[in-house]
Chains A and B, each alone.
Chain A
């Protein structure tokens, strides 16, 4: 086979696989939106389900999703940002940093069902929090911590060295430099990490079903169980309760996650643009 023919063949094959992947993404998202969008309206989002989700809206699971996600992000963000500050600004490479990095990467690789089991054993059973917003939020917080640490650290490292030097030259302490110069500069990147954490929390099922429960009711306190949208979709679709309702829920989920990701990448684009 001649060199040129091999090239043409290979490039065609590569192009086709790129096309196949693109088509898969479009088909999956397109199918869900095509079936789900007609179901969505204000009433769908804002009213309670009737007869176990066969009709009505998905309001309790919207609230449940927001509650669990907000709690997870509220816990993971300060921890993650402080960790990132420490790794990027306060230490040199050494055993401690290697340990932190290994733990962060290892945590990122642990499957959600393990987080679910852990959350179930620790929060639900041992700490007696039961299936609740609190148990679910705490479990998700641990799960999204690595995402937030990694993006925050990258963003902090992307802040130009000269900014710090100016701050020190003006007599600023390290803490002042971090809080008044570095963090504001890294804010878009930090927010990107938070957004990615939100997307991961919203789409999670395995960890949430074991820790937040499946109760389809508006939570009245953080100790109440909830059914998040992802879990609601799982139950509706799997048990064939209502395909329309399932597609509608899935479409809300996908729109929410795509939207959040879009914001995240837009923010990320702004940083890279500034850096480049």
Chain B
């Protein structure tokens, strides 16, 4: 009894060591990190890419836009994903490349009679000055505002483009992903939130803003203005494998897949905002 037991103990001690010592296959692994808004799309493309090139591994990791940019600066990641433009200091050391454009849709429950709001009304609702749906032409009842957490790129873009310096009400429910916001709005007839246009489904309704409907066409013609770039952030001298992956993402096939997922292809808005 004692010998197998001891052997087990020794083995158990050695196992993690052995595991730790095995060198990771660095040469064929590309690490992408950053914005959780961009993440699902890049993960999707990464799966396609690995399907085409089985000997290449693409690790896609969340963490947020800032963490992604930081990771490229420190070399922890080959590529950063960001849903906000680079800061001046960051832009001095890194390059940013739009891989697609994403519209932010303001969403309500599909039974909500309100189908259109002005930007001022949206601002009033999210800042809490219009706390009842009747204030903006809806059925009477308290509005449940749903927002994203501090630090989220989507929240940053929304605050910059819509709130313009006003604080979001402290009553607002706070969720840490697009999907979680959608699930709440889909379940609560009194809720309002915002998320990537590509994630809108038929349980929620995307509001028309200032008479402009949130559609890909309206974005392409520049009528719908809540649009932000999804960026790849690159170091000064990316490895060839990394460049090959970036090329794939910007290529026709990948861009078509992104469009299918509700994003606006990078080239469509080139030079845009």
Give the complex CA separation of A183 and B9 in angstroms.
12
Q: Contact at A224–B44, with CB atoms within 8 Å?
A: no
20 additional contacts, CB 8 Å, given A75-B12, A179-B6, A220-B25?
Answer: A50-B47, A52-B40, A52-B43, A71-B15, A74-B15, A75-B16, A78-B12, A131-B61, A134-B16, A137-B16, A214-B61, A217-B58, A220-B57, A221-B25, A222-B19, A222-B24, A225-B59, A239-B177, A239-B178, A240-B180
Q: Which residues of A contact B61 (CB under 8 A)?
A: 131, 213-215, 225
Which residues 75-108 of B sit at the A interface, judged by CB distance below 8 A?
Answer: 76
Is B5 an interface residue, CB under 8 A from the partner? Answer: yes
B52 within 8 A of A: no
Among A184, A220, A241, contact of B1 (Cβ-Cβ < 8 Å):
A184
Residues of chain A contacted by B29 (CB below 8 angstroms): 220
- The answer to the question of B182 belonging to the interface, with a C-beta cut-off of 8 Å to chain A, is yes
Q: Does A198 contact B (CB under 8 A)?
A: no
Chain B residues in 8 Å Cβ range of A131: 61
Q: Compute how far the CA of A46 lies from the CA of B23 in the bound complex, rounded to whole angstroms.
A: 26
Q: Which B residues are in CB contact (< 8 Å) with A239?
A: 177-180, 182-183
Interface flag for A230 (CB, 8 Å): no
Whether B2 and A184, one on each chain, are in contact in the complex, defined by CB atoms closer than 8 angstroms, is: yes
A222 to B22: give the CA distance in the assembly, Å: 8
Q: Does A8 contact B (CB under 8 A)?
A: no
CB distance from B2 to the nearest CB of A (A): 5
A134 near B15: Cβ-Cβ < 8 Å: no
Kindly count the residue-residue contacts between A and B in the assembled complex, taking CB atoms under 8 Å apart: 87
Q: Does B62 contact A (CB under 8 A)?
A: yes
Min CB distance B166 to A, Å, is 28
With A74-B16, A75-B16, A238-B177 known as contacts, the answer to whether A215 contacts B183 (CB < 8 A) is no
Q: For chain B, what secondary structure do more than half of its interface residues adopt (helix, strand, loop), or is it mixed?
A: helix
Residues of chain A in range 8-60 having any CB-CB distance to chain B below 8 Å: 50-52
B76 touches A130 (CB 8 A): yes
CB 8 Å contact bits of B112-123 with A (1 = contact, 0 = none) = 000000000000
Given known contacts A215-B60, A224-B24, A52 and B19 CB-to-CB distance under 8 angstroms: no
Q: Does A192 interact with chain B (Cβ within 8 Å)?
A: no
Cβ–Cβ < 8 Å partners of B178 in chain A: 239
A241 to B44, CA, bound (A): 13
Which of chain B's residues has its CB closest to A75's CB?
Answer: B16
A240 B20 Cβ-Cβ under 8 A: no
- 1/0 per position for B28-70, CB-CB distance to A under 8 A? 0100000000001001101100000000011111100000000
Contacts of B23 in A (CB 8 A): 221
Encoded as 1 (CB less than 8 Å from any B CB) or 0, chain A from 172 to 183 comes to 000000011001
Q: Which of A74, A75, A183, A187 has the most CB of B within 10 A?
A: A74
The reply on B186 being an interface residue by CB < 8 A is yes
A/B interface sample: 24 pairs, CB < 8 A: A50-B47, A52-B44, A71-B19, A74-B15, A74-B16, A77-B12, A133-B19, A215-B59, A215-B60, A215-B61, A217-B46, A217-B59, A217-B60, A221-B24, A222-B16, A224-B24, A224-B57, A238-B177, A238-B180, A238-B183, A239-B178, A239-B179, A240-B179, A240-B183
